[in-house]
Structure 1
């Protein structure tokens, strides 16, 4: 039975008042496209993130705090929004940069005044160059990554990286507030003129944090 037939049958039953019948769903589709090593999967993620105009960096645990300090300094940030569960050591060398806590009382105007936000992530999808946030303590409320103009997202590799969307869905709880991010916020008008920062950060920087061994800084 085709997808079209399934949809039409559901419409007919709804119109006739016939009780719904559970239908089997064909899940024989490919879970991922091709076969890749762990390193190749991480490289594909970096490539697709960059293709979506995200700025990609690599770091190990020893160099992460220094890298974040540099990125915030180059941005000219004077304040950074910090989710409650973010690892404090990530910003321990950020100097006198003002930390703004993720509070329910924050107004849109106060969020807009924040220069940058640093978060972790739930999962990153290599084939689509997508980062998914689920509101966990190291990611904070959804709005903190939608209002400030500069978002730095730290992705632990390879542990938080999957090849495909089906693999990502297996890890995610649909009951959580999921935010799917593919590059900085952007839209185009009828003339295909691209405008960034319309309904989210104008600049997205992604740090691929190596969970073991050394990694190059970029």
Structure 2
């Protein structure tokens, strides 16, 4: 019988402690034998991963980016961060420069064009860090189409390589394909918490 000063909770916790035994000794140092940075970059792996995640990949020269944007978003409204190179935007789009646009203004746009901070080939991940050519997080979440321009020298082999070049105090966004989720029956739904369409434009550097 449980004593007057002992609750059922005390009994259960006491049994757990007895079953677990004494706490293990804490090691003086934790082994940190993580895989180091410095792997070889394979652009074909990045393209394969992005395509597998249902992103659309374009490989072209820097001077041809505007043609890709025109093919995807020509004749529509496009949000652009203030530091985006303007030669990437064709005359066929209506450019809304993000000078603190409201969420409603961003959501009403048809797409957004940004640069990138880095990309991980092994995982097919594009990373943004809110730089002047990438902008605020909100502009890459609300429009239905995100066109992200990535330089080849921004591509690294693995996550350790990316972490080595990114500033930890920046607001990082890691993007692996278009926004998507699945319910318990594995029915895939795209565009729930971000763009339904991701286009990655890879340019040489």
TM > 0.5: yes
Distance 1:22 1:145, change over 3 A: farther
How far did 1:120 drift?
A: 0.4
Q: What is the aligned counterpart of 1:141 among 127, 136, 146?
A: 136
Please say which structure displays the higher CA radius of gyration.
2
Match of 1:17 in 2: none
Distance 1:191 1:141, change over 3 A: same
How far did 1:88 drift?
A: 1.1
How far did 1:103 drift?
A: 2.5
How far did 1:202 drift?
A: 0.5
TM-score by length of 2: 0.82
Distance 1:198 1:29, change over 3 A: same
**Structure 2 counterparts to residues 108-187 of structure 1, below 5 A:** 108-157=103-152, 159-187=153-181
Match of 1:47 in 2: 48
Give 5+ residue unaligned stretches, structure 1.
1-7, 14-20, 212-218
Q: What is the aligned counterpart of 2:184 among 184, 190, 194?
A: 190
Match of 2:98 in 1: 102
Query: How many pairs are equivalent?
Result: 183
Give 5+ residue unaligned stretches, structure 2.
1-22
**4+ runs deviating over 3 angstroms:** 21-25
- For residues 190 and 207 of structure 1, what CA distance do their matches in structure 2 show? 34
TM-score by length of 1: 0.77
- For residues 170 and 37 of structure 2, what CA distance do their matches in structure 1 show? 23
Match of 1:81 in 2: 79
